[in-house]
Structures are given as C-alpha cells and as structure tokens.
Amino acid sequence: MARVLVTGSADGLGLLAARALAEQGHEVTVHARSRERAEQVRGRVPDKAAMVVGDLAGMAEVRGVADQVNALGRHDAVIHNAAVGYQERRRVETVDGLPQVFAVNVLAPYLLTALIERPDRLVYMSSGMHCGGDPDVSDALWLRRGWNGARAYSDSKLYDTMLAFAVARRWPEVRANSVDPGWVPTRMGGPGAPDDLEQGAATQVWLAVGADARATGEHWYHRRRQAVHPRARDRARQDALTAYCAELTGTALP
C-alpha cells in the first residue's frame, strides 16, 4: 500500500485518480483550494482520504499545503495534477502579482516539490499543448509580451515537463515523469473533448503506484512514451527554469 497526494483532486482527473488509488487499496491525500470547496466535495472523495487545503495560486498557501502534507507523514508519491486553463482573456494576477496560469501550473508544483518530504515518485501534469510552448523564462510572467492565454498555458505545460526532467536528473533515486492526459472532457477541456477521461487519470495512477512503472525522466500519454518539445531536455533550459522559480519563491530545489 502506498500513500499518495493528488493535488487538485476535488474534481476532474484528480478526483478520478484519487478514487482509483483508493479502490486499489492505497492511502490517498486529496487537496481542495478552500475550506468551502473541501466541504462541498467531501462526499465525492474516498471516505478514508486525508484532506489538505490551500489555494495554489498564492505562495503562502502553497507553503501551508506543504506543511499540512508533511504533518501527515512521508508520502510515497505525489501527483501534481492541479492546473488552470487558457481561457483567460487578460493577464489575471495572483496575490503575489504573478499570472495565475504560471503560479498554479508551474510555481506551485515547483514549490511543493522543494518543500514536501521527498517521495519515491513524482508525476507532473503536462499537455500535448506543451509542444507549442516557449522554453525561455526571460518573460515567463508576460510583462513584455501582449497576453495570449493559449500560449501562456502552452508555456506552463512545457515548463512542467522540463521540471519533471530536471527533478529526474537531480534526484536519480526518485522516479519523476510528466503526463499528457489528452484532451479530456473536464471542466477545463469542455464536454466535447474527444479523449478518454478514465485513461487520462489511469496513467497518473500507474506512474504513481504501478509496479512496472520504472521509468524516470519521460513523458507519457496513455501509458506510452511520447516525444517532447525539442528543448525540453536541454539541461541549461531546465536549470534556468528551476533557478527562476527559486528566485521567485526564495526556495531552492534541493
């Protein structure tokens, strides 16, 4: 039996992953962004699941989530599932003055990775749209460019893939991978999305607890390795990303 944290597990892929893990007999820690949200979804998550609460758009609350997770004890795996989409028509700022899509999709998993007691496995949610992202972090906050929600989202998903590869390289004892769940019918994907929702969650679960999921530093779609953006494996780009996140958060990746 493994203990697994799934961020953004109040609905969608995260909820499906949490349920699947519980059905397999694993100990699940679910995450909701607020106390109100936690109360609303309590009946939808596994009965024995632990709950951590915090809005991943704010660095202080991300640190609070990490503290809650560490207080529960060491987790065997963490699935960084939480994300926001690309429908925003303007640069929505967080309490820290950052674009929400960057704060939730990139900075939160980085900071949680740095602060949570090191697990055996890490799974980072990416997207097929990462192939259209720009690996350059010199304007990751979109201060100089005119805002484009789809491009900002693509950048964030490329950064997530790069983060997975960077962690796999730095921590060889940890299996760190990124996942493209496909275009699935979640709240973000919309009801007309053509991909299989169950398959999107199943790959996360497999990477977190599967006995035969032994790879690290890879990108997956429906349990198959996928090609990535040609710059995703550039070590200098990875190091620039982690250094930038360390600068923003004041917390270096060990």
Segment 46-54 shows an average pLDDT of 92
Phi first, then psi: give them for residue 106, nearest 5 degrees: -120, -55
Output the pLDDT for position 184: 47
153: annotated active-site residue = yes
233 band by pLDDT with thresholds 50, 70 and 90: very high
Tens digit of each residue's pLDDT (9 = 90 or more) over 198-220: 777 999 999 999 999 999 999 99
Output the pLDDT for position 42: 84
Tens digit of each residue's pLDDT (9 = 90 or more) over 123-175: 999 999 999 999 999 999 999 999 999 999 999 999 999 999 999 999 999 99
Question: Which one of the listed residues 157, 159, 221, 244 is annotated catalytic?
Answer: 157
157: annotated active-site residue = yes
Percent of the residues in the chain that have a pLDDT greater than 90, as a whole number: 83
Superfamily (CATH) of domain 3-249: NAD(P)-binding Rossmann-like Domain (3.40.50.720)
Question: Which one of the listed residues 124, 153, 221, 244 is annotated catalytic?
Answer: 153
Output the DSSP codes for 173-221.
Answer: TSEEEEE---S-SSTTT-TT--S-HHHHHHHHHHHHH-TT----S-EEE
